[in-house]
Structure 1
Amino acid sequence: MNKYNTKLGQLLSLINRSQFYALVKSTQSDKYCKGFSTWQQLVTMCYAQIANHNGLRSLIKSLNTSGHCRYHLGIHKELARSTLLYANNHRSPEIFEKLFYALRDTLDRGRGKKLRKNFYAIDATEISLHIRDFPWALFRSTIGGIKMHTKYDINNSVPDYLFITNAKEHENHTLSEMQLIEGDTAAFDKGYCNYKNFGVFCEKGIFFVTRLKENAQYAVVESRPTDSPLIPTDQTIVFTGKKTQKTCPHQLRKVVSIDEKTNKSITILTNIFDMNAADIAKLYRARWNIEIFFKTIKQNLRVKKFYGQSKNAVETQIWIALIVYVLYLKLRQMSTYEGKNFTDFISELKVCLFERTDLFSWFVGLPPVINKPPSSCSSQQEFLL
C-alpha cells in the first residue's frame, strides 16, 4: 500500500485494479466514456457515501476543493455536477453489482463462529421514494418505493446475494429466487410463508426456520418431551389443508419457544430434525441479524436519498454503498481487529478522508504515523491508489 495515499485512497486500494478493469471490459461500461470513467465514478460515489453530503452541489464543491488529493484518486480535473449526474443516470449499475460480488468473494468466510453451516437470513427492506421524482418506482397511487431483497450470511455478517425490485413485489414471491442450494439453512419471517416453496425445500435438501401461521391446518404426528420450561412444545406435524397437503406433504417440526425477557411465545416451523429444540429457537432469533444490517446501512450510508432520479442512479448508489460496507469488512479482516464497528468506522473516517496517515494503524487505534510529503519528482511517479 502506498504510504503517501490518503485514507480514502488506501481504502480504495483494497480493490484489485486488474480485476476491476477486467469487469469494466466485460460489461463495456467505459465503451462510450468521454472523460469520466467508471473508476472515477466509483471513487466519487464512494466519497459521497462516506462524506454523506446533503446534495450534489455540496458533494462536487467539496471534492473539487480537495485539489491534489482528488488528483491522486484518479480524478485529474474538476468535476461538473452534470458529468456525475449523467454517469449515474446512464451508466449501467451492472459493473458495480459485479464488483460487489468480486469483493465479497475475497473475504475469508471461514473464520467466524458458526451457528450452523451455510446459515442465511432472508428478508427485504423497503426504501421510500417520492413518486413525483421517481415515477418509475410506483408503489401505490401516491407512494413510490423499492425493495432490497437480501440473502444475508449470518456467520460472516455479509450479504451473500441480493436484488432490487419495485416495492409492490411481495416477499413470498421472491423466496425461490434466493439461490438456495442443497445443505443451506435459511431463516425468514412469516412474510415468506409459501407452502409450495416449503415442499420444494424439503425435496431439495434445503433447510428452513420460520414462523408458523396462526391459521395453518395441521395434525400432530409425534410429541417429544423437552428439558426446558422455555420450550413447552416440540412436535412433528403434517399439513392437512386441501392445498397445503398437496404442495407440502412432508413431515415438519413445530417448536414453541418462550422469550425469557418478554415472556412472549413464538411458534417456529422447520424441517430440521437433527438439532434440539432450544437450538432451533436460537436459529430463528439469529434472523434478527439481517434487521441490524439493514438498520446499519440505512443509518450510516446514503441509501435513502439519491443523487440521481433514474433507476440506474438509484441502483448504482445502493451497490456502491454495499461496496463501501464490504471494504470495511475486508479492512477489519486484514487488520485482525474487530473493535471498531461500522458506525464508528464511518463517523470517524468521514472527518479524515484526506489525511495521509496509515489506514491500518488508524483503524486499530494506534497513534498516527505522519509521513513526510513526497518530493515533486516522486509525486509524479506515485502510483494512483
Structure 2
Amino acid sequence: MAHYNTILNQIASFLPRHDFEKLAQKHHQGHKFRSYSRWSQFMAMTVAQLTGRKSLRDLVSNLAAKGKRIYHLGMKQTSRTTLARVNEQQPHELYQEMFFKLLRTCEEHAPKHRFKFKGKILLLDATTINLCLTVFPWATYRKTKGAIKLNFGLDADGYLPVFMDMTEGKRHEIELARALKLPAGSCVVFDRGYTDYSWYGDLDKSNITFVTRLKSNSGAYQFGNRRKPDTEDVVLDCKVKLPGHQATFRQVNYVDPETGKEYQFLTNSKKIKASEVAAIYKERWQIELFFKWIKQNLKVRTFLGTSPNAVLTQLWIALCVYLLLSYFKFMAKFRGSISEILRILQLSLFERRPLSDLLRPPDKVHQETNSPQLLLWN
C-alpha cells in the first residue's frame, strides 16, 4: 500500500521551505530563536485558519493532540505564550511579502475576465471590522467603539485580492485610494463611497479607466450630443461635466431588466459600450461576495493577538490561505466553489491520502500530487 503524507503536509509542500526561510531571515527582529521558528508560527496560524480555532489555547491544544502528524510538518512544539509573543513582536512583513509571491503564481493560472476590455479590471472597496476599544485601543473609530477598515483591490481575473491595507475604522477609504499606484491601461471600479471629482480627473490623466455610480446630487450637466444607445436597457448615453471641473466624462443611465430600477453610471471611457459599462459595474458585486466569504470562512473578525502587528500577521496569513485555495481550484479545474474546497480540506486535513484525489473529478485519471506544475514558487 502506498504511503502518503497528511493533507496538511502536502499543502505545506507547495511552499518551498528554503524560500520561506530566506524571507524569515530577512524579516526578523531581535535575538535568534532558540527552539521556535517562523515556519512553526506560519503552520500553526494556517491550521487556525483552516480549522477555525477560537483562541490561542484552543489552537495549541489542537496541535498538541496531533502528535507526530505535526512533527512531520517540520514544526516545533508550540506553546501559547511563545506563539503569542512571536505574533506580537515578529514583523508581519514576512507574510505580506509571501502573499505577493503567491499572488504572482496564482495570476499565471487565473482565468481571464469575461469583458471585451483588454486591460486589467480592478474592483475597489473597503469593509469595516468592529473591535472592542478597550482591548484594541489603537483601533479608534468612535468614542466607545473600536474598528479597523480593510481596503481591498480585487482582480476580476480569478477574483484574486491584489492588494490590502488596514487602517483605523474612522479613516475614509478615499484617502488610501488617492495614494494607490494603479497600472496605466487598467480599469478601476468603485462605488459612490469613493466620490472625489479631483481624483477622477487624476485617473483620467494617468490613462486609467474608471466606472462608478453617479450621485443624485452630483450637479452633472450634459455637454454635447447624446450617443445612440446600444441596447434598449440603456436610456441615456452622453458627455457630462462636473461642477468646478473642466474634464469631460460620460454618463450612462441603465435600467435593470430584472428589477426595473434605473442606475446612473459615470465613466471616463469613450470606447466601452454603454451596456458593458453597466455590466462592468455589476461585476463590483464580486468584491462584496469576497468580503462575505472571508468573514464567514476565515478568521478575520476575531484575532489571536491585540497589537497591530499581530492583527496584520493574522490577516496576511488568512489571505495566503485564500490564495492557496484559489490556486488549488485553478490547477485542479475544480468546478465547485472555494467554500467546497475549504470544507473538503477541513474534513481531511490530517488524513493520509493524495491531495489530488480530494479535488479531482471522479472520472479523471490520477495525477501525481508532487507534480512540478503544482509548485507555487519558482
Q: How does 1:31-46 map to 2 (within 5 A)?
A: 32-46=32-46
Quote the Cα distance in structure 2 between the aligned partners of 1:3 and 1:292.
39
Partner of 2:50: 50
Contact 2:150/2:165, CA 8 A, preserved across alignment: yes
User: What SS does the corresponding residue of 1:213 show, helix, strand or coil?
Assistant: coil
Partner of 2:235: 232
Partner of 1:63: 63
Quote the Cα distance in structure 1 between the aligned partners of 2:22 and 2:3.
26
Deviation at 1:218, TM superposition (A): 2.7
Aligned pairs, number: 359
Quote the Cα distance in structure 2 between the aligned partners of 1:218 and 1:307.
48
Contact 1:129/1:143, CA 8 A, preserved across alignment: yes
Quote the Cα distance in structure 2 between the aligned partners of 1:29 and 1:105.
27
Selected match of 2:311 from 306, 309, 314: 314
Q: Which runs of 4+ in 1 moved over 6 A?
A: none
Quote the Cα distance in structure 1 between the aligned partners of 2:56 and 2:14.
26
Q: How does 1:55-94 map to 2 (within 5 A)?
A: 55-77=55-77, 79-94=78-93
RMSD: 1.9
Partner of 1:378: none
Gaps of 5+ in 1: 368-385
Contact 2:237/2:274, CA 8 A, preserved across alignment: yes
Selected match of 2:328 from 328, 331, 334: 331
Contact 2:239/2:249, CA 8 A, preserved across alignment: yes
Q: TM (normalized to structure 1)?
A: 0.89
Deviation at 1:203, TM superposition (A): 0.8
User: What SS does the corresponding residue of 1:312 show, helix, strand or coil?
Assistant: helix
Q: How does 1:366-381 map to 2 (within 5 A)?
A: 366=362
Partner of 2:17: 17
Quote the Cα distance in structure 2 between the aligned partners of 1:110 and 1:359.
20
Partner of 1:208: 210
Opposite residue 348 of structure 1, the aligned amino acid is: I
Opposite residue 196 of structure 1, the aligned amino acid is: S
Deviation at 1:29, TM superposition (A): 5.3
Deviation at 1:178, TM superposition (A): 2.7
Gaps of 5+ in 2: 364-378
Partner of 1:174: 176
Partner of 2:192: 190
Q: How does 1:141-152 map to 2 (within 5 A)?
A: 141-152=143-154
Deviation at 1:217, TM superposition (A): 2.1
User: What SS does the corresponding residue of 1:235 show, helix, strand or coil?
Assistant: strand
1:159-182 alpha-carbon deviations (Å, 9 max, x no partner): 111111111110121212332121
Contact 2:334/2:359, CA 8 A, preserved across alignment: no
User: What SS does the corresponding residue of 2:275 show, helix, strand or coil?
Assistant: helix
Contact 1:151/1:178, CA 8 A, preserved across alignment: no
Deviation at 1:109, TM superposition (A): 4.9
Partner of 1:379: none
Quote the Cα distance in structure 2 between the aligned partners of 1:338 and 1:179.
33
Opposite residue 262 of structure 1, the aligned amino acid is: T
Greater shift after overlay, 255-264 or 37-46? Answer: 255-264
Partner of 2:345: 349
Opposite residue 97 of structure 1, the aligned amino acid is: Q
User: What SS does the corresponding residue of 1:338 show, helix, strand or coil?
Assistant: coil
Q: TM (normalized to structure 2)?
A: 0.91
